[in-house]
């Protein structure tokens, strides 16, 4: 008999019920009891959706984040909230977001909030967790009430519960030492509390505890490997059976370590580590359960069930009762239920599976393994029809696009001349002052702008009214930029809801769901485009707007595009060809747009690659392979222009050092990057490398309502000027201004322009260094 289980289910609800309940509570519009009852109802529904499985996860639900829940259960909340009184749920939200419900904050002496916990991405997903904080004083105390309550609740619903917790080494590894304390030195304080936790879970009658250790798919130093041995030795023999869950990648050199640990079972992500299945079977002790993640928990495609059975059936015959099957990872990363989609094209819909459908795929696989394929003949036939239709669909396959990718050669991504030659031509054409000023693209997305787009989308506004209304916004945006005295203008992006969705809607090969929400952090959910087919550009996407904007001013207008890597990384991507190939298709489509902008007389084109960095593989040894196609894709998109056309790119992060060489290989003429929060720390890298082209380090932190002063901007730029020849420096904000208000943006940019003028004056006294 094969056992089925799930590692975690999306907690947001199929209609984002959790989001609305959280936000109502924070606004003081609902009580703690009301929020708690929404949580209980979501858990009940989630368990009901998984009732066909043998083991259901308990502890995967969270009111904000499962890592913060773990910090809570281990009694490890930052000192700054520890002294505040009030209900533990309010403490929890203060760590999560700096504040809880207004009234609760007021009465506990925290009316102005506290510093929220740092948030960062969970491995290579777009889910953000609250980073655990450690220092020399960190002590752990078991506070597992919430998990124990959920276990009891699951019993009331007759759920066959498997408890889910974050493992001790992953918990330490993904946290941050605030004072330089070695995180591993805390393990001996941490393990006794993990022992108590597992005992407490077992005392509730729970047989299996899933211990998530995804850190095992990354490269581990020797002391961390040893720590695994020590930790799992300490957690053995407590009654509960431990299922060590690894996911998101291969075990690689950690495979022997994993199979040597005294646990009762191991979960492997058989989607990302299929090639390790045989070795793992061979090396796993014969009394261990082996759980294979055979359904992709990271995308929205139906599993090819017959192809999966082909390789799984012989394994089931070998392993018998020892075989468990599951999704590759928690289903947290996929939307809840496809049956809520009424507008997706029916052919495309037949290819998709969200969380509810993926759970059903597990049931079908189990029946086929245990009772033979004939027992699920109809389901398998329907599945094969869908798989076949996807493989052959005219909507997926476009021979011309495939041919164009096959024809890509080294030349395609190369500019005609090198930067030093191009820059002479560009200076002549653009005639910009020293320290030229510009912005990153978007200007405030006012309620008025959002209303125009909403009315157009719902059909309440016709095309020509829509166009003229957006043009009014563009005109006003240009007028303000001229008044401010900026040197390189932008059209303001009023027509764009989102920098990826906008292009996805205009490119062939993308589709959009109505309710395909996935939790990004807390109450924030995103609805990634579905990239299902060969990508092409039926017609220009931005040229009309940018040409109109340029017609209103004599200053150079910067045409604004989203880069291929960012479009790829922020979508659900097809799994039937390598990502690099899909990326090159997008690159060719963006290239056409770049060239059309150039033909329309636009002299500066910015191609944003906000998400280039987050596509990096978890293992460093695989970085080069990713970077190779990612960089090539950008180059294809950008570098077909003439020497005199200036290419800009933009990136929203400052961890730059480790991919610096690759970024310089983009060969963009100008790069604008986020730096202002890190006080130009980023520029330290210039001690070792010379960035060969021009650079605009952000000097206005757009994530804050604060208005940067002229002297602060001058100081930051002078720091930059100490490392970069001033003839190559630009003055600009960190990122787009769409989330800000005009009354913040106007004074900030006024100061930015004034700072640039002051810098010109100060530096014009010195001769331009020749570089
Ligand atoms: N051009 C985009 C904007 O200004 C860039 C956004 C981003 O980098 N995230 O909004
Ligand atoms: Zn940005």
Residue 692 has pLDDT above 50, yes or no: yes
Task: Please state, in angstroms and rounded to a whole number, the distance separating the CA atoms of residues 357 and 263.
Answer: 31
Map 343-358 to HEC letters. Answer: CCCHHHHCCECCHHHH
Residue 562: HSE in the Cβ half-sphere, 13 Å Cα cutoff: 28
How close is the Cα of 425 to the center of ligand 2, in Å? 28
Write down the pLDDT at residue 274: 98
- Site to probe by mutation for ligand 1, drawn from 491, 557, 605, 610 as the one with most ligand atoms within 8 Å of Cβ, is 610
From 438, 439, 441, mutation site for ligand 1 pocket: most ligand atoms within 8 A of C-beta: 441
Short-list 208, 85, 232, 87, CA closest to 146: 87
Give the HSE-up count for residue 734: Cα atoms under 13 Å, Cβ half-sphere.
23
Q: How confident is the model at residue 20 (pLDDT cuts 50, 70, 90)?
A: very high
Looking at the predicted structure, is the pLDDT value of residue 588 above 60? Answer: yes
Q: Which of 67, 216, 82 is nearest to 132 (CA)?
A: 67
* 3-class DSSP assignment, residue 418: coil
DSSP letters, 375-387, are GGHHHHHHHHHHH
Tell me the pLDDT tens digit for each residue of 657-687.
789 899 999 999 999 998 876 677 777 777 7
pLDDT of residue 187: 98
620, 602 Cβ separation under 8 angstroms: no
Ligand 1 atom nearest to 560, measured from its CA: 1
440 CA closest ligand 1 atom index: 4
Comparing 112-116, 301-305, 356-360, the range with the smallest average pLDDT is 112-116
Higher pLDDT, 597 or 675: 597
Encoding tokens for residue 466? 């829509």
Contact 172, 183 (CB under 8 A): yes
* Interval between CA 639 and ligand 1 midpoint (Å): 20
As a residue count, the chain comes to 771
Ligand 1 in contact with 650 (CB < 6 A)? yes
pLDDT class of 729 with cuts at 50, 70, 90: very high
What is the average per-residue pLDDT within 181-206? 98
- Over range 432-445, report the average pLDDT: 98
How far the first Cα of the chain sits from its last, in Å, is 72
Alpha carbon of 650 to ligand 2 centroid (Å): 6
Does ligand 1 have an atom closer than 6 angstroms to the CB of 702? no
Residues in contact with 160: Cβ distance below 8 Å, sequence separation at least 6, in sequence order: 54, 55, 56
Separation of 672 CA from ligand 2 center, angstroms?
9
Here the tokens at position 618 are 């978890």
The reported pLDDT for the residue numbered 654 is 65
Q: How many other C-beta atoms lie within 10 A of the C-beta of residue 428?
A: 9
What tens digit of pLDDT does each residue of 483-541 get?
Answer: 999 999 999 999 999 999 999 999 999 999 999 999 999 999 999 999 999 999 999 99
222, 496, 572 from 259: Cα distances, Å = 16, 50, 33
Q: Whose CA is nearest to atom 1 of ligand 1?
A: 441
What percentage of the chain reaches a pLDDT higher than 70?
Answer: 98
At 635, which helix (H) or strand (E)?
helix 623-638
Residue 734 has pLDDT above 60, yes or no: yes
pLDDT at res. 770: 47
Nearest Cα neighbor of 300 from 113, 513, 490, 598 is: 513
| Complete DSSP assignment for 486-499 | -SSB--B-TT-SST
Instruction: Write out pLDDT tens, residues 527-547.
Output: 999 999 999 999 999 999 999
Predicted pLDDT at 766: 63
Question: Helix, strand, or coil here: 211?
Answer: strand
Q: At what angle do helices 305-319 and 355-371 cross, to 10 degrees?
A: 50
* Burial (CB count within 10 angstroms: exposed 0-12, middle 13-18, buried 19+), residue 29: exposed
CB of 738 within 6 A of ligand 1: the answer is: yes
| % of the chain with per-residue pLDDT over 90 | 90
650 CA: nearest ligand 1 atom: 8
Distance in angstroms (rounded) separating the CA atoms of residues 443 and 439: 9
The half-sphere exposure of 265 on its side-chain side, counting CA atoms within 13 A, is 26
Catalytic residue annotation: 703
What b/e readout covers 105-135, taking b as 16+ CB neighbours within 10 angstroms?
Answer: beebebeeebebbebeebbbbbbbbbbbbbe
Evaluate: CB of 453 within 6 angstroms of ligand 1.
Answer: no
What's the average model confidence in pLDDT over 279-294? 98
Model pLDDT, residue 767: 54
Q: What is the band of 116 on the pLDDT scale with cuts at 50, 70, 90?
A: confident
Query: Distance from the CA of 740 to the center of ligand 2, in angstroms?
Result: 13
Q: How far is the CA of 560 from the centre of ligand 1 (A)?
A: 9
- Cβ–ligand 1 distance for 440 under 6 Å, the answer yes
Tell me how far apart the alpha carbons of residues 246 and 266 are, in angstroms, rounded to a whole number: 8
Reply yes or no on whether the pLDDT at 690 is more than 90: no
How does residue 110 score in pLDDT terms, banded at 50, 70 and 90? Answer: confident
Summarize pLDDT for 362-396 with one digit per residue, the tens. Answer: 999 999 999 999 999 999 999 999 999 999 999 99
Q: How many helices (H) and strands (E) does the chain have?
A: 28, 22
Is residue 494 in contact with ligand 1, taking CB distance under 6 Å? no
Is the CB of 608 inside a 6 Å radius of any atom of ligand 1?
yes
Q: Is the pLDDT confidence value at 771 over 50?
A: no
Q: Is the pLDDT of residue 168 over 80?
A: yes
Indicate the SS3 state at residue 454: helix
């Amino acid at each position: 008999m094969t056992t089925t289980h799930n590692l975690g289910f999306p907690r947001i609800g199929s209609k984002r019920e959790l989001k609305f309940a959280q936000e109502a509570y924070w606004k003081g519009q609902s009580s703690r009891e009301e929020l708690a009852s929404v949580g209980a109802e979501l858990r009940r529904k989630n368990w009901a959706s998984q009732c066909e499985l043998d083991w259901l996860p308990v502890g995967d639900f969270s009111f904000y984040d499962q890592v913060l829940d773990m910090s809570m259960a281990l009694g490890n909340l930052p000192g700054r909230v520890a002294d505040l009184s009030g209900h533990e749920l309010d403490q929890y939200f203060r760590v999560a977001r700096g504040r809880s419900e207004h009234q609760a904050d007021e009465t506990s002496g925290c009316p102005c909030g506290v510093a929220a916990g740092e948030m960062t991405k969970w491995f290579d997903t777009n889910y953000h967790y609250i980073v655990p904080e450690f220092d020399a004083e960190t002590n752990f105390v078991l506070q597992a009430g919430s998990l124990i309550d959920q276990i009891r609740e699951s019993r009331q619903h007759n759920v066959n519960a498997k408890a889910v917790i974050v493992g001790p080494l992953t918990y330490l590894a993904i946290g941050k030492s605030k004072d330089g304390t070695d995180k591993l030195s805390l393990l001996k304080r941490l393990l006794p509390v993990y022992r108590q936790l597992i005992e407490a879970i077992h005392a509730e009658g729970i047989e299996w505890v899933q211990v998530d250790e995804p850190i095992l798919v990354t490269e581990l130093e020797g002391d961390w490997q040893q720590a695994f041995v020590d930790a799992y030795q300490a957690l053995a023999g407590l009654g509960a059976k431990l299922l060590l869950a690894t996911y998101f990648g291969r075990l690689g050199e950690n495979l022997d370590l994993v199979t040597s640990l005294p646990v009762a079972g191991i979960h492997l992500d058989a989607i990302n580590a299929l090639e390790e299945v045989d070795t793992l079977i061979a090396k796993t002790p014969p009394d261990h359960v082996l759980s294979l993640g055979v359904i992709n928990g990271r995308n929205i495609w139906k599993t090819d069930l017959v192809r999966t059975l082909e390789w799984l059936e012989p394994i089931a015959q070998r392993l018998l009762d020892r075989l468990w099957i599951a999704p590759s990872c928690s289903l947290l990363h996929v939307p809840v239920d496809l049956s809520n989609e009424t507008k997706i094209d029916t052919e495309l819909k037949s290819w998709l599976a969200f969380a509810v459908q993926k759970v059903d795929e597990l049931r079908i696989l189990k029946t086929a393994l245990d009772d033979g394929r004939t027992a699920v003949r109809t389901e398998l036939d329907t599945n094969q029809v869908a798989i076949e239709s996807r493989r052959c669909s005219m909507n997926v396959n476009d021979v011309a696009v495939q041919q164009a990718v096959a024809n890509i050669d080294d030349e395609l991504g190369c500019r005609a001349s090198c930067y030093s030659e191009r820059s002479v031509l560009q200076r002549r054409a653009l005639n910009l002052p020293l320290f030229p000023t510009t912005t990153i693209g978007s200007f405030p997305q006012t309620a008025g702008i959002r209303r125009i787009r909403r009315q157009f989308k719902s059909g309440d506004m016709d095309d020509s009214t829509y166009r003229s209304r957006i043009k009014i916004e563009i005109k006003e945006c240009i007028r303000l930029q001229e008044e401010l005295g900026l040197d390189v203008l932008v059209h303001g992006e009023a027509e764009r809801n989102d920098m990826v969705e906008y292009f996805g809607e205009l490119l062939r090969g993308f589709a959009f769901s109505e309710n395909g929400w996935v939790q990004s952090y807390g109450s924030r959910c995103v609805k990634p485009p579905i990239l299902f087919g060969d990508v092409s550009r039926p017609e220009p996407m931005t040229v009309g707007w940018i040409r109109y904007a340029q017609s209103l001013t004599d200053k150079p207008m910067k045409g604004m595009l989203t880069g291929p890597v960012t479009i790829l990384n922020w979508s659900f991507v097809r799994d039937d060809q390598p990502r690099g190939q899909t990326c090159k298709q997008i690159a060719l489509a963006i290239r056409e747009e770049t060239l059309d902008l150039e033909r329309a007389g636009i002299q500066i084109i910015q191609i944003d690659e906000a998400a280039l960095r987050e596509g990096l593989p978890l293992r460093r040894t695989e970085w080069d392979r990713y970077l190779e196609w990612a960089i090539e894709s950008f180059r294809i998109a950008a570098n077909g222009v003439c020497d005199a056309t200036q290419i800009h790119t933009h990136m929203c992060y400052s961890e730059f050092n480790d991919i610096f060489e690759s970024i310089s290989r983009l060969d963009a003429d100008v790069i604008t990057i986020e730096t202002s929060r890190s006080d130009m720390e980023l520029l330290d890298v210039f001690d070792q490398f010379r960035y060969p082209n021009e650079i605009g380090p952000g000097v206005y932190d757009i994530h804050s309502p604060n208005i940067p002063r002229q002297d602060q901007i001058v100081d930051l730029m002078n720091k930059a000027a100490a490392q970069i020849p001033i003839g190559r420096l630009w003055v600009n904000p960190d990122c787009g201004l769409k989330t800000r208000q005009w009354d913040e943006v106007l004074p900030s940019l006024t100061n930015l322009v004034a700072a640039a003028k002051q810098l010109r004056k100060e530096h014009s006294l010195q001769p331009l260094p020749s570089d």
